[in-house]
Amino acid sequence: VQADGTDGNCVTFVLHDEDHTLGNSLRYMVMKNPDVEFCGYCITHPSESKINFRIQTRGSLPAVEPFRKGLNDLMGVCQHVLNTFEVRLLPQELRD
């Protein structure tokens, strides 16, 4: 991940080897934060596997904070889905 921006409240993160799967999910999680004024992403070119992910916050909150929180929240959601899947759909012998 690279971070570009002179102002700490408005930063573009470059995520390499990623696509819409992470971009849209992470955008959703970050936008749940009321201190985020803008959050969006774009794929630079179809032949490149990277996205530009931009966050702009209100007040003095640095943009890296909602970015980090969004990633952590998304990991928590993914872990919950995996746990639910394993408990409900996998036989007991496959879980062990």
CATH of the domain at 66: 3.30.1360.10
Total structural domains in the chain?
Answer: 1
36-43 β-sheet, strand order? 2-4, 10-16, 50-57, 36-43
Token digits for 7?
């102002």
| Domain that includes residue 73, residue range | 10-89
pLDDT tens per residue, range 11-30:
999 999 999 999 999 999 99
Q: State phi, psi for 70 to the nearest 5 degrees.
A: -60, -45
* Residue 50 domain flag: yes
Cα 30 to its chain centre, rounded Å, is 7
* Residue 94 domain flag: no
Strand pairing partners for 43?
51
pLDDT tens per residue, range 38-84:
999 999 898 988 999 999 999 889 999 999 999 999 999 999 999 99
Of residues 70, 61, 65, 69, the one with CA closest to residue 27: 70
Cα 79 to its chain centre, rounded Å, is 15
